[in-house]
Amino acid sequence: MDVKALVSQMTLEEKAGLLSGSDFWHTKAVERLGIPAVMVSDGPHGLRKQDEKADHLGVNESIKAVCFPAACATTSSFDPELVMAMGEAIGESCQHEKLAVVLGPAVNIKRSPLCGRNFEYCSEDPYLAGKMAAGYIQGVQSRNVGVSMKHFALNNQEHRRMSSSSDCDERTMREIYLTPFEMAVKEAKPWTLMCSYNRINGVFASENPWLLTEVLRKEWGFDGYVMSDWGAVSNRPAGVAAGLDLEMPASGGANDEKIVAAVKAGTLDEKDVDLCCERILEITYRYLENAKPETPWDQEADHELAADIEGECAVLLKNDGGLLPLRKDAKVAFIGEFAKKPRFQGGGSSHINSFKVTSALEAAEEAGLNVTFAEGYSVEKDCATEAQIAEAVAAAKAADAAVLFVGLPDVYESEGYDRTHMKMPESQDRLISAVAAANPKTVVVLHNGSPVEMPWIDQVPAVLEAYLGGQAVGLAEVRILFGDVNPSGHLAETFPKRLQDNPSYLWFGGEAKCTEYREGIFVGYRYYDKKEMEVLFPFGHGLSYTTFAFSDLQVSAKEIADTDTLIVKATVTNTGSRAGKAVAQLYVGDVKSDKIRPVRELKGFRKVALEPGESKTVSFVLDKRSFAYWNEEIHDWHVESGEFTIEVGGSSRDLPLKETVTVRSTAELPRHYDENSVFMDLAADPRAMAVLKPLLDGMKAMLGGGDGEKSEAAAEAVTDDMSAAMMNYMPLRGLVSFGGGKALADQLKGLIAMLNQK
């Protein structure tokens, strides 16, 4: 479709109209020109297509659909191909349901465990989030359906989400919060993006030209359209000028009128309006011209797929003495309401009306396993009565092993508000301790979207983090618990010992108007590692029923320029007796840097399936970005020349392989000297030292007392090392006070001009 030609035939009113929805879920049609409306739907881990009453909070019913595991789980798979398969299935269901765009993936960084929507978000690590988002997008869009990657950007809390300003320095934005969006835009070309509700450094994302045009389009090359989050528009004409193409949902024509008025008043360029229309129509016709409503949607097959996916996502956090897997002939007590009625998804706009749900109890019974059940606690009442605990203890005592299905009730975490603490219900903590005391073979299975404190961790030998595992979670759990599936999930976030340890603890939530990102780039493991802090479970951690060894780390060169790529290879061996999947993780660290940087950062990962005894080589390609930080002065990525560590292993705290490489920067940073420039900076610059040498030689002779010899007392009071160290911090102007006098003061300007000469 020649959309430019189409737009040129539209009146200003028609064009302004096209820039907002016709209702909650549809774009507007322009009947005169035969432009149809198309429908969008939440997402991201299944469809929330609302046929009748519409809302954006998951209140009203949507069609029966398939609920796949939420992103907290799928990201733990560390397998972009797996989420690609999920995306393909979702794309097909969109075709079947005539949906042009699915609203996801949601890739905001998990700044704090408290964010109410963490269950929908991917990770505390931007590289992992970016790779997983790209996989999902490629999957959905391979079926000619668009995604809307959200919420762009810095929407890392629910508290005051529609008005608060996320105040953050640019380096932190670039290195942490924008990176997942950037990676996915470049690698997977999402058809649309959804801007966030919040402001960024005071300017609403929905009218932020720096974000929506400078960075997103000009720097990253995004060529789709940007829609607003539902109700995120504040100043619509400003949004059009900034690059916000589509306002969602409908504004009843109010904002369309404002667009028309602004164009007529000459405060908004009609060309900006045209551009927004063209971008929307480009994507609309990309869908329409490839629409395949006859695509079948086999929900039963997707249910199986959801179970398979969750089997790859659940993280085995602890398994002392190899308690898991359980023997299939063992008598096992399943305890806890979540065994019967699992919590498998979060609340809000991502809430899916599952066509069926398989609980662990049902799955175990269907598999003919010898399982008993005790309720243990009540989710609705958020309590565990003495009778419930006594029944659970009796069931545990009468069984070979007890499995507790526990976690966070819906009301504890949801879109729309943040958690206020990181604890599980007190009743469940009590139940776990009581059951663990009754049967030493106690397993805890967690259903939650974000980390919890585990006061009972030393009392139980095994913990399986199922996260919010989708409607088939019970199937996957039983397969893992009884050994049909070997767990291979790894944590995409750190579990701190307590909330207070989290780097954003002092600032998260913020004050009335803003939330300051004062912890900067030190998010998640970047902080815990720098502080050498003990954590409950580190980023990247995940056990298996087999064991893996990492060996033979090879780098393609010991020294490279920052324009080169480096190939890193390592061998992973299955040293146990079961087939399993390892996740090889590669972290890069700058050994010595003028910039304050994390100890290590994830720059590559590979999931590999290995038979017992089998070895495979994994390889990674590192480029400039793997070593760079965001330099605010040159407004670009920069590598500081020097040594970098390359570590490979099975988690951020288990990295047996280490190499060092030297990376040479091909870019020279501009140097600006003035009278306050200090000697240690000048000394690091050979050109500056050449300029200063005659002056310094003269002063040295003078300070040495003429004959160059110090008295014994003077030498004792200030050693040569000490004076050298003090000299490090001496500003140029100091030379005037400490010896140079007026003669030097007169020369200083000229000297500084020479230092700054290119």
Interstrand relation of 401-407 and 331-335 (parallel, antiparallel or unpaired):
parallel
Choose between 106 and 242: whose C-beta lies nearer to ligand BGC.
106
CB of 7 to ligand BGC, least distance (A): 27
Report the chain's C-alpha Rg in angstroms. 30
CB of 509 to ligand BGC, least distance (A): 18
Q: How many CB atoms lie within 10 A of CB 731?
A: 16
Choose between 228 and 486: whose C-beta lies nearer to ligand BGC.
228
Choose between 103 and 306: whose C-beta lies nearer to ligand BGC.
103
Establish whether 229 is a catalytic residue.
yes
CB of 137 to ligand BGC, least distance (A): 15
Choose between 25 and 508: whose C-beta lies nearer to ligand BGC.
25
Closest CA to 658 of 666, 668, 650, 648: 648
CB of 178 to ligand BGC, least distance (A): 18
C-alpha dihedral, 669 to 670 to 673 to 676, nearest 10° = -50
Q: How many CB atoms lie within 10 A of CB 194?
A: 29
Choose between 88 and 229: whose C-beta lies nearer to ligand BGC.
229
CB of 217 to ligand BGC, least distance (A): 22
Choose between 42 and 601: whose C-beta lies nearer to ligand BGC.
42
Choose between 76 and 148: whose C-beta lies nearer to ligand BGC.
148
What the block records as the tokens of 349 is 């706009």
Closest CA to 167 of 487, 520, 551, 460: 520
What the block records as the tokens of 599 is 């100890």
Fill in the DSSP letter of residue 217.
I
Q: What is the largest CA-CA distance in the chain?
A: 98
CB of 494 to ligand BGC, least distance (A): 25
Instruction: Give 7-12 contacts, CB < 8 A, sequence gap 24+.
Output: 7/274, 7/277, 7/278, 7/281, 8/274, 9/33, 10/277, 12/260, 12/263, 12/264, 12/270, 12/273
- Cβ atoms of residues 445 and 315 within 8 Å: no
Q: Give ∠ CA 257-262-263 in degrees, rounded to 5.
A: 100
Bridge partners, 462 (sequence order)? 319, 443
- Cβ atoms of residues 97 and 47 within 8 Å: yes
Chain residues in the site for ligand BGC (CB under 6 A): 42, 56, 103, 150, 229-230, 349
Q: Which 3-state string (H, E, C) describes 597-649?
A: CCCCEEEEEEEEEECCCCEEEEEEEECHHHHCEEECCCCEEECCCEEEEEEEE
What the block records as the tokens of 660 is 């060092």
Choose between 57 and 690: whose C-beta lies nearer to ligand BGC.
57
> Torsions phi, psi of 461, nearest 5?
-80, -20
Choose between 108 and 585: whose C-beta lies nearer to ligand BGC.
108
CB of 474 to ligand BGC, least distance (A): 27
| CA atoms of 2 and 16, how far apart (whole Å) | 19
Q: Give ∠ CA 190-192-197 in degrees, rounded to 5.
A: 125
Choose between 415 and 429: whose C-beta lies nearer to ligand BGC.
415
CB of 42 to ligand BGC, least distance (A): 5
Choose between 148 and 546: whose C-beta lies nearer to ligand BGC.
148
> What's the one-letter identity of residue 27?
T
CB of 350 to ligand BGC, least distance (A): 7
Could you give the 3-state DSSP secondary structure of residue 480?
Answer: helix
CB of 443 to ligand BGC, least distance (A): 35
Alpha helix ranges (H) inside 147-269: 170-172, 179-188, 209, 236-242, 254-265
Interstrand relation of 580-590 and 642-649 (parallel, antiparallel or unpaired):
antiparallel
From 229, 245, 308, 529, the catalytic residue: 229
What the block records as the tokens of 244 is 């916000």
CB of 231 to ligand BGC, least distance (A): 7
Q: Which helix (H) or strand (E) holds 339?
A: helix 337-340
Cis amide bond preceding 96, omega within 30: no
Burial of residue 340 (number of CB atoms within 10 Å: 0-12, 13-18, 19+): middle
Active site residues: 229
